């Protein structure tokens, strides 16, 4: 690296000079990241994807990097998140052309996060390509982080999720998914750098870079054996009912009673189980109208049994001094508590700018798309004295949100209705994300879904029990409470984000010229 104004450069490639060839390579590199995730889980493609991106991008100007980042995002989200088409077309009462248009806008909009991140990357390092390499992991992580909260956020398709079954998984309780993603990108940078060093016959230096980059990949499996939390030896019997209710009748008034009957029949013979779980909105009517069914459940439950179910909630809120409607989950029997979902899905649970969008197309008038956001800092549910923090559907995708709320709880629980996404990779990605949250927090994650994947996830993020998708079935097993906090629960993603900011501050080039030196010029 040069500090005297000379340019530190790596060799340009033909890919950088050929716009369309470079765009294709970047889109492919983005799509490779989807292959690292469920269902294929080819985690080793992560660094390869990053190296390909750098092969095209390192020599580019900031303006060209904006386009390069956008093409990368198109490849990633076009391959990894286009399952939203099923929600829009099949369940959103929207024509195929309009569904294609909306899905394309969704993918193109998400790709802007990469585009803006890459543009900023170029602006910070316009002269030195060595600096550009060093800054890339920081830029990638900050782009991921911003995407996870801006405009409600889309914390999906993080590279680090692949390592719930990969060699870097042992770092999850320490630095979380963003920390793992950081090192995957750093390894990709090292691959690119080592390639350049070999081309320049500096094989010794290339070897040093390779060893340093691979060190965490070697030590990660050893870290995974550390017990960061204390898991109880006392088992809690558990049963989760998967009703497999078709999405097209989910909110049909003629079928509401039949859905409740399905879950009651699935629960026959299970009423004495310590903890019973029904999925998101398994009771498809608000709690103020579901008194009889709630009373019936309470009567059927054994003395030491608790049933937790998803249910809409309608009532007066003192917080907002008005009546509110929530996507909620409640405990019945030998437990108590009500939780209102905080992270709502745009258009699925609320409609932004609804005064203009309502009525335009069917997708903007989905059933149950008028929910209100639940308050922050809600208390966990309790079941037989066990503190259980619930997360409804999409909420489990937010790593820092889950880590923060997992404190002072014994188990985690998530319910979902992934029927919106049909037979796509979306539900499998969702399961993998839930597994990462269990690994980060060192707690069992109990997952109840309408049509899969219903599962018991242990404190190491591994599947202890599961039942197949698209079947009406009951999952049974034993679960265990855990106490204590992992390092990631105490710090969240802030150490990784701070490292990224430090890199930007100290590695970036000066953008504003030195005024004193300018004044000295004749």
The residues carrying an active-site annotation are 280, 341, 393
- CA atoms of 3 and 465, how far apart (whole Å): 57
Task: Please give the C-alpha separations between residue 243 and each of 48, 103, 271, 454, in angstroms, as whole numbers.
Answer: 41, 29, 17, 10
The answer to whether 397 touches 155, Cβ cutoff 8 Å, is yes
Helix (H) or strand (E) holding 28: helix 19-36
Backbone angles phi, psi at 336, to 5 degrees: -155, 165
Task: Please give the C-alpha separations between residue 132 and each of 31, 76, 118, 480, in angstroms, as whole numbers.
Answer: 23, 22, 10, 47
- CA atoms of 494 and 176, how far apart (whole Å): 10
What proportions of the chain, in percent to the nearest 5, are helix, strand and coil? 50, 15, 30
Largest Cα separation within the chain, whole Å, is 92
Pairing label, strands 386-392, 473-483: unpaired
- With b meaning 16 or more CB within 10 Å and e meaning fewer, what string describes 121-131? bbbbbeebbbb
DSSP state of 343: S
- CA atoms of 105 and 372, how far apart (whole Å): 25
- CA atoms of 212 and 402, how far apart (whole Å): 32
280 token code pair: 């998101």
Neighbours of 109 (CB within 10 A): 13
- With b meaning 16 or more CB within 10 Å and e meaning fewer, what string describes 477-495? bebbbbeebbebbebbbeb
- CA atoms of 71 and 480, how far apart (whole Å): 45
Task: Report residue 111 CA to chain centroid gap.
Answer: 16
- CA atoms of 244 and 471, how far apart (whole Å): 6
What's the half-sphere exposure (Cβ side, CA atoms, 13 Å) at 422? 13
User: Is residue 512 classed exposed, middle or buried when 0-12, 13-18 and 19+ CB atoms within 10 A define those classes?
Assistant: exposed
């Amino acid at each position: 690296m040069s500090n005297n104004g000379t340019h530190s450069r790596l060799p340009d490639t033909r890919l950088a000079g050929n716009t369309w060839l470079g765009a294709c390579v970047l889109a492919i590199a983005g799509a490779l990241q989807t292959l690292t995730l469920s269902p294929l889980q080819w985690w080793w493609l992560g660094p390869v994807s990053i190296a390909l991106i750098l092969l095209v991008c390192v020599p580019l100007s900031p303006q060209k990097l904006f386009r390069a980042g956008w093409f990368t995002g198109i490849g990633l989200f076009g391959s990894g998140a286009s399952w939203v088409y099923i929600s829009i077309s099949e369940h959103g009462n929207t024509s195929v052309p309009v569904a294609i248009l909306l899905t394309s806008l969704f993918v193109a909009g998400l790709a802007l996060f990469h585009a803006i991140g890459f543009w900023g990357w170029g602006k910070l390092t316009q002269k030195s390509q060595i600096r550009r390499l060093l800054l890339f992991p920081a830029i990638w992580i900050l782009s991921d982080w911003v995407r996870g909260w801006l405009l409600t956020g889309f914390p999906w398709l993080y590279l680090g999720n692949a390592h719930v079954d990969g060699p870097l998984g042992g770092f999850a309780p320490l630095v979380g998914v963003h920390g793992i993603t950081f090192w995957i990108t750093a390894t990709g940078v090292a691959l690119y750098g080592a390639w350049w060093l070999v081309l320049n016959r500096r094989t010794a230096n290339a070897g040093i870079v390779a060893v340093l980059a691979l060190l965490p990949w070697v030590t990660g499996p050893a870290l995974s054996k550390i017990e960061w939390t204390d898991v109880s030896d006392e088992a809690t019997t558990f049963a989760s009912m998967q009703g497999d209710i078709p999405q097209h009748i989910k909110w049909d008034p003629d079928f509401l009673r039949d859905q409740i009957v399905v879950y009651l029949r699935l629960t026959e013979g299970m009423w004495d189980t310590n903890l019973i779980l029904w999925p998101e909105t398994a009771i498809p009517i608000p709690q103020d109208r579901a008194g009889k069914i709630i009373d019936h459940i309470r009567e059927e439950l054994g003395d030491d049994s608790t049933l937790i179910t998803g249910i809409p909630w309608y009532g007066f809120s003192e917080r907002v001094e008005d009546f509110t409607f929530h996507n909620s989950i409640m405990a019945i029997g030998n437990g108590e508590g009500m939780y209102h979902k905080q992270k709502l899905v745009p258009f699925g649970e609320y409609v932004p700018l609804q005064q203009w969008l309502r009525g335009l197309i069917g997708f903007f008038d989905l059933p149950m798309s008028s929910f209100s956001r639940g308050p922050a800092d809600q208390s966990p549910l309790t079941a037989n004295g066990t503190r259980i923090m619930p997360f409804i559907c999409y909420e489990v995708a937010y790593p820092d949100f889950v880590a923060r709320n997992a404190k002072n709880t014994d188990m985690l629980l998530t319910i979902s209705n992934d029927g919106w996404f049909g037979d796509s990779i979306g539900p499998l990605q969702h399961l993998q994300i839930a597994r990462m949250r269990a690994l980060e927090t060192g707690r069992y994650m109990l997952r109840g879904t309408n049509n899969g994947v219903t599962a018991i996830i242990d404190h190491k993020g591994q599947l202890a029990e599961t039942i197949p998708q698209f079947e009406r079935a009951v999952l049974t097993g034993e679960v265990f409470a855990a106490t204590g906090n992992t390092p990631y629960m105490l710090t969240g993603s802030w150490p990784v984000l701070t490292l990224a900011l430090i890199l930007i501050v100290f590695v970036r080039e000066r953008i504003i010229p030195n005024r004193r030196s300018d004044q000295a010029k004749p």
